[in-house]
Structure 1
Amino acid sequence: MSFGDPNNPYGQQQQGGQPGYGYPQQAPQGVPQQGYGYPQAPPVPGGYGYPGGPTEMPGGVKAARVMLYVIAGLQVIGAIFVALAAAAVNAAKNDATLQEDVQFQQLADYSGNALWGITVFALVWGVLAVVLAAKFGKGGNGVRITAIVFGVITAILGIYPFIVIGLAHTVLAILIVVFVAKSDGGAWFTRQRQH
């Protein structure tokens, strides 16, 4: 005996077996029924549905970390060039033909010292970038804030004194600030850590 299409809610339904399509099933007796629209369990605290926040570093934060390493590399390269320039100024200062030129000697003293200072600053800034990048894995909100401040200062320094050379620094620094300041970056740095 054929009863037609079993998926047709308007057709004749089979007797026995499963209830028809569109009709709620009855729970076995002794099992309390839960009303429609009520949650099965309480919501889980933390971001991304995991207790205590995300368990894997978001892509933007990973990118910001790589950009910090790139900035550190650029700082080392820049420090090498500035150190070579400082050495060249010191060599010119010791040139016998320029020994009597007092103005050149004063400029060479000032320029040489300034170039060595810039070299040290570039190296320190590069080390700070590496330390920040290394702390992205376990660091808290303080690392996030430090990375944002580092990015802003790097962007400003890239614009003002080194307009052409600092363009790469400026772009990378702005991207670091954006990626770390986004909501998924905030969730990563403020998550609960397992000790």
Structure 2
Amino acid sequence: MSTPPSTTLPPLTVPGYGLLPMAMPGQVKAMRVALFVLGGLNVAGGALLLFGAVAVSAFGDSSDRGPAGVLYAVAVAALLMATATITLGIWCARGGNRTRVAVIVVGALLAANYFAGIFLGQGFSGPGLAAAAFLIVAAAQADTKAWFCRRRA
């Protein structure tokens, strides 16, 4: 009795050059675009919050110092999240399972932030929540996992 043929194909190689590069799946490309867009929006939001905090602390009286500190903290958090999303967008080109897991974690943090924003009365959090959910779903798919766990030359 013979064994059935294997359905997995060996990696394609070119003599003298090694492995052919795997094409980036469309989900990964869309995930990178979403990361860059979310990063850009977080940079804009963080800059506006920072400007608002400076304005409150410069032109407000002593009772406004508390809200200015909160604005500074939220601005720094938004700028840190922008740094993380843009960095992950760049790292998605190289792959690596740690990058995929980091995208899932950052997507969950963004989703929690936007979800809290909806409950606090910010009606504009819906598109951000949808983008964060897309990041989580796209990073968890099998094609995306295959891209991030591929053999690199």
The one-letter code of the counterpart of 1:81 is L
Aligned residues: 142
Q: Tell me which residue corresponds to 1:76.
A: 43
Structure 1, gaps ≥5 residues long: 1-37, 95-104
Structure (1/2) with the larger helix percentage: 2
TM (norm. structure 2) is 0.82
TM (norm. structure 1) is 0.65
Question: Among 89, 101, 105, which residue is 1:149 paired with?
Answer: 105
Among the aligned pairs, what percent are the same residue? Answer: 30
Q: Tell me which residue corresponds to 1:180.
A: 139
1:17-37 residue CA offsets vs partner (Å, 9 max, x unmatched): xxxxxxxxxxxxxxxxxxxxx
Q: Secondary structure at the match of 1:119?
A: helix
Based on CA coordinates, which of the two structures has the bigger radius of gyration?
1
Q: Secondary structure at the match of 2:117?
A: coil
Which fold has the larger relative contact order, with Cα–Cα distance below 8 Å and residues 6 or more apart in sequence? 2
Structure 2, gaps ≥5 residues long: 14-18
Give 1:153 shift: 1.0
Q: Secondary structure at the match of 2:150?
A: coil
Give 1:145 shift: 0.5
Q: Which shows bigger deviation, 170-179 or 79-88?
A: 79-88
Q: Does the 8 A contact of 2:35 with 2:89 survive in 1?
A: yes
1:74-112 residue CA offsets vs partner (Å, 9 max, x unmatched): 001111221222123123325xxxxxxxxxx23x11111
Q: Secondary structure at the match of 1:161?
A: helix
Paired residues for 1:43-122 under 5 Å: 43-45=8-10, 55-94=22-61, 105-106=62-63, 108-122=64-78
Q: Does the 8 A contact of 1:54 with 1:188 survive in 2?
A: no
